[in-house]
Amino acid sequence: MKMPNGRMWTNSSRFSPDPAYKVPVLKIVIGDDAPDDSVIPTKMRDLPPLPGNWQSMLDNRLIFEVERGSAGGETEWLINGKPFTPNTVSTSLKNSAGRTPLAQQKKGSFNLWEIRNGGGGWVHPFHLHMEEHRTVMRNSRDVTRGDASHPDDVSREDLVALDPGESVIIYRGFRDFVGPYVAHCHNLAHEDHAMMFGWEITP
Ligand SMILES: [Cu+2]
């Protein structure tokens, strides 16, 4: 897809990518023959099933809204109204249970997190460190059986593809390690201008 200005793709190419459009990145010169170990198996391991009761976790989900702030400069981009502050555990927006939980999860637990695009016509590829997640809802629709506009949603992912105005709910596990982690927009110009938050896994 053509993305000439870093803001988002051009209108013409979002759902009809131009196969002739190429960006030179790296030239590889084959020097010799070698065995081809590159073939991906036609049948991959089945995804483990999601727990049947994931919807019951919706009310207590954690909610993070990524948005542009008004201050500009080094803290131009915000999450839940705040710029990134190192060594700080962020707080969720108020969820349907009326709570604003800390972004803090016990080791061995699972939870739903919602990432919202606060608008302005921007795409935010939102990356969460630690464990890969499963996308369960997109714009209030159950997408556990797939979503034509986001075909990669049916795999394990470490990134939420957040199109303009979208809201995505993901199922996360916190199984292996304790400690502080971050989550951030992977548009690095956004990340470097404070679109990041701290969260934590506790024993
Ligand atoms: Cu962004």
With respect to residue 83, please indicate whether it lies within any of the assigned structural domains. yes
Q: What are residue 173's phi and psi, to 5 degrees?
A: -115, 150
Spacing, Cα 182 to ligand 1 middle (Å): 15
Spacing, Cα 191 to ligand 1 middle (Å): 7
With respect to residue 30, please indicate whether it lies within any of the assigned structural domains. no
Spacing, Cα 27 to ligand 1 middle (Å): 30
Give the environment of ion ligand 1: residues with CB less than 5 A.
124, 185, 187, 190
Residue 191 sits in a domain of what CATH number?
2.60.40.420
Closest C-alpha among 196, 14, 35, 201 to residue 104: 201
Q: Is the pTM of this model over 0.85?
A: no
3-state secondary structure of 100: coil
With respect to residue 191, please indicate whether it lies within any of the assigned structural domains. yes
Instruction: Please tell me the predicted confidence (pLDDT) of residue 99.
Output: 98
Closest C-alpha among 139, 132, 120, 129 to residue 190: 120
With respect to residue 165, please indicate whether it lies within any of the assigned structural domains. yes
| Beta strand pairing call for 159-162 and 104-106 | unpaired
With respect to residue 131, please indicate whether it lies within any of the assigned structural domains. yes
With respect to residue 46, please indicate whether it lies within any of the assigned structural domains. no
Spacing, Cα 116 to ligand 1 middle (Å): 11
Instruction: Please tell me the predicted confidence (pLDDT) of residue 23.
Output: 80
With respect to residue 87, please indicate whether it lies within any of the assigned structural domains. yes
**Euclidean distance between CA atoms 203 and 105, whole angstroms:** 9
Instruction: Please tell me the predicted confidence (pLDDT) of residue 13.
Output: 66
Per-residue pLDDT of the chain (203 residues; tens, 9 = 90+): 777 777 777 766 667 778 888 888 899 998 999 888 888 888 888 888 999 999 999 999 999 999 998 887 888 999 999 999 999 999 999 999 999 999 999 999 999 999 999 988 899 999 999 999 999 999 999 999 989 889 888 889 999 999 999 999 999 999 999 999 999 999 999 999 999 999 999 99
With respect to residue 44, please indicate whether it lies within any of the assigned structural domains. no
Instruction: Please tell me the predicted confidence (pLDDT) of residue 120.
Output: 83
Instruction: Please tell me the predicted confidence (pLDDT) of residue 35.
Output: 87
CB neighbours of 74 closer than 8 A, spacing ≥ 6? Answer: 193, 194
What residues make up the domain containing 195?
60-202
Spacing, Cα 37 to ligand 1 middle (Å): 36
Domain count, the chain: 1
